[in-house]
């Protein structure tokens, strides 16, 4: 894919008009900065270094970061203000509005409810956390679909796809005292349990709560994920939770191949039966295969990577790629070196997402623009990236509805492309 290809067809106006999706985006990494400043004034134990938006953009929520630790430091503030039902609902509502306004017609927002639950007086149960987040998301969806429906009744925008969303719950690969009220209670109630036992217990409890939220409260919880540092925190600790999620018929995705090598991706697929991989950046990184049993006679991991890539490709296990986020967490990486190039050349199932709209200072439009102009994508390749987000989604409705929705998105995309004079092939 030469980068000298003419990409002048890919204008900001065109990118704004196409129906986008975002299937890897964290709620607690995507607050409006103005809202964070406002909510922090009344949040106990949270003190922003400044309320000046421009200064916060320079010091905390930066264009570039020096390390993963620096990147993650902003979550201390965002999670800190998301400890009440009202705040969760507001953040979720604004998240929905921001996405739909950007023409992200479908998103799957993920977050760790156990970072917001508490057994304290007026604390929130995990199911209540999910209820309040869903209430905000649902309000945003209703507002946009109402306008769309009115326009369709008046003979305008008759072929446009509706606005939809799903919720993915994240278990944490590791946690520590002070991380949240929920986890603090877990440490206090089970002082003799090992850290791995507590982690496994928490993830099982999360799946149980997710089932109640979905089946008893009608909340579109569609999948389970695990997030957090991969190194020294193996996915196998969550084996029982993923077995339970499988029994309850939840979809499964796993953050893998971001902070560790290809073996993390294989572990997520082999042990947790992941149907999608969050990031998957290191899927080609043969030099990051460490286990002796996965190395050939020359000490190389190329055979392991090649077999992994074939396995993933044959089964269309989708990589949820987040370009700007990877640049933020891997300061030595340049965009030209990003694995997306090889993924597309190898015809892997891949789609683009934002990861964290606030922390990474990005939008779906920016991610798509970056991909097209960096890697010289053709109109066909851009469409494949966008539509894969819909095709490989965990859409919460019936299969027939999902097929109809994807078809409508594809037809609308083509209408938009034709109106901008962008070729379809």
201-224 confidence digits (pLDDT tens): 999 999 999 999 999 999 999 999
**Range(s) of the domain holding residue 386:** 12-25+97-125+136-419
Averaged pLDDT for residues 106-115: 98
d(CA 90, CA 393): 25
Phi, psi for residue 352 in degrees, rounded to 5 = -105, 145
Considering all CA atoms of the chain, what is the largest pairwise distance in Å, rounded to the nearest integer?
69
Q: What is the pLDDT of residue 181?
A: 92
Burial environment of residue 222 by CB neighbours within 10 A (0 to 12, 13 to 18, 19 or more): buried
Q: Provide the CA 188 distance to its chain's centre, in angstroms.
A: 31
**Rounded average pLDDT over 182-187:** 93
In this structure, of 98-102, 237-241, 421-425, the range with the lowest mean pLDDT score is 421-425
User: Residue 37 pLDDT > 60, yes or no?
Assistant: yes
CA distance 166 to 162: 14
- What does the pLDDT read at residue 156? 84
61 lies in a domain? no
Any domain includes 159: yes
In a domain, 3, yes or no: no
Decide if pLDDT at 72 tops 90: no
Range in 145-159, 189-203, 361-375 the model is least confident about: 145-159
pLDDT at 378 over 60: yes
Give the pLDDT score at 264. Answer: 95
Examine the pLDDT at 3 and tell me if it is beyond 70.
no
Q: Which residues pair with 46 in a beta bridge?
A: none
Query: pLDDT above 90 covers what percent of the chain?
Result: 87
Q: In the chain, what is the straight-line distance between the N-terminal and C-terminal CA atoms, in Å?
A: 16
* Mean pLDDT calculated for residue range 176-183: 90
Distance, CA of 109 to CA of 98 (rounded, Å): 13
In whole angstroms, give the CA distance from residue 320 to residue 328. 16
DSSP 413: H
Q: Pairing relation of β-strands 221-227 and 164-172?
A: parallel
Question: Does 337 score more than 50 pLDDT?
Answer: yes
Instruction: Report the alpha-carbon distance of residue 219 to residue 224 in Å, rounded.
Output: 14
Token pair, residue 53, equals 């938006």
Helices 85-101 and 126-153, axial angle in degrees (round to 10) = 30
Is residue 142 pLDDT above 60, yes or no?
Answer: yes
Q: How many CA atoms lie within 13 A of 355 on its CB side?
A: 27
Mean pLDDT, residues 18-36 taken together: 98
Q: What is the DSSP letter of 169?
A: E
Classify residue 354: in a domain, yes or no: yes
| pLDDT in the model for residue 259 | 87
Which ranges of 190-286 would DSSP assign to H, the alpha helix?
Answer: 195-217, 239-247, 262-272
Q: Model confidence at 322, in pLDDT bands (50, 70, 90)? A: very high
Angle between the N-to-C axes of helices 262-272 and 302-314, in degrees from 0 to 180, rounded to the nearest 10: 40
Band of residue 1 on the pLDDT scale cut at 50, 70, 90: very low
Q: Higher model confidence: residue 72 or residue 199?
A: 199
Band (pLDDT 50/70/90 cuts) for residue 298 is confident
| 229 or 87, which is more confident | 87
In whole angstroms, give the CA distance from residue 22 to residue 172: 21
Kindly tell me if the per-residue pLDDT of 405 is higher than 90: yes
The pLDDT of residue 297: 84
Strand, helix or coil at 409? Answer: helix
pTM, entire model: 0.96
Joined together, the tokens standing for residue 230 give 């991969």
Inform me whether the pLDDT recorded for 2 exceeds 70.
no
Q: Where are the beta strands (DSSP E) in 131-232?
A: 164-172, 221-227
Residue 233 scores a pLDDT above 90? no
Residue 154 reports pLDDT greater than 80: yes
- 301-313: average pLDDT: 97
* pLDDT tens column, 253-266: 999 999 899 999 99
The domain total for the chain is 1
Contact 238, 264 (CB under 8 A): no
Q: Are 140 and 200 in contact (CB under 8 A)?
A: no
Whether residue 9 has pLDDT greater than 90: yes
* Residue 67 placed within a domain: no
User: Would 315 be classed as within a structural domain?
Assistant: yes
Which 8-state DSSP code applies to residue 34?
Answer: H
Distance, CA of 200 to CA of 269 (rounded, Å): 18
**Is residue 172 assigned to a domain?**
yes
CATH number of the domain that residue 414 is part of: 3.20.20.140
């Amino acid at each position: 894919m030469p980068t000298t290809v003419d990409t002048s067809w890919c204008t900001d106006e065109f990118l704004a008009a196409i129906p986008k999706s975002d299937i890897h985006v964290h709620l607690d990494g995507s607050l409006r900065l103005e809202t964070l400043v406002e909510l922090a004034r009344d949040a106990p134990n949270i003190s922003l270094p400044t309320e000046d938006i421009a200064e916060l953009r320079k010091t905390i929520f930066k264009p570039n970061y020096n390390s993963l630790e620096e990147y993650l430091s902003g979550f201390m503030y965002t999670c800190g203000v998301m400890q009440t039902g009202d705040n969760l609902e507001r953040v979720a509502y604004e998240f929905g509005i921001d996405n739909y306004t950007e023409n992200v017609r479908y998103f799957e927002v993920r977050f760790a409810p156990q970072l917001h639950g508490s057994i304290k007086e007026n604390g929130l149960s995990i199911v209540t956390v999910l209820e309040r987040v869903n209430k905000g998301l649902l309000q945003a969806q209703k507002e946009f679909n109402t306008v769309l429906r009115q326009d369709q009744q008046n003979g305008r925008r008759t072929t446009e796809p509706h606005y939809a969303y799903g919720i993915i719950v994240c278990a944490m690969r590791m946690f520590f005292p002070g991380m949240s009220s929920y986890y603090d209670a877990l440490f206090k109630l089970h002082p003799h349990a090992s850290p791995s036992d507590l982690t496994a217990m928490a993830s099982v409890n999360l799946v149980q709560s997710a089932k109640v939220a979905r089946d008893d409260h009608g909340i579109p919880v569609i999948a389970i994920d695990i997030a957090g540092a991969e190194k020294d925190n193996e996915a196998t600790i969550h084996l029982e939770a993923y077995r339970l999620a499988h029994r309850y018929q939840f979809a499964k995705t796993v953050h893998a191949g971001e902070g560790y090598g290809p073996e993390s991706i294989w572990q997520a697929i082999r042990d947790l039966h992941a149907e999608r991989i969050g990031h998957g950046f290191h899927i080609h990184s043969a030099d990051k295969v460490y286990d002796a049993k996965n190395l050939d006679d020359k000490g190389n991991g190329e055979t392991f990577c090649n077999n992994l890539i074939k396995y993933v490709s044959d089964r269309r296990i989708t990589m949820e790629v987040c370009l700007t986020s990877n640049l933020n967490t891997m300061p030595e990486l340049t965009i030209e070196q990003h694995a997306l190039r090889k993924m597309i050349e190898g015809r892997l199932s891949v789609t683009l997402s934002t990861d964290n709209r606030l922390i990474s200072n990005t939008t779906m439009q920016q991610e798509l623009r970056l991909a097209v102009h960096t890697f010289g994508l053709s109109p066909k390749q851009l469409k494949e990236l966008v539509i894969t987000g819909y095709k490989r989604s965990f859409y919460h409705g019936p299969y027939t509805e999902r097929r109809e929705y994807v078809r409508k998105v594809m037809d609308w995309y083509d209408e938009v492309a034709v109106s901008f004079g962008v070729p379809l092939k």
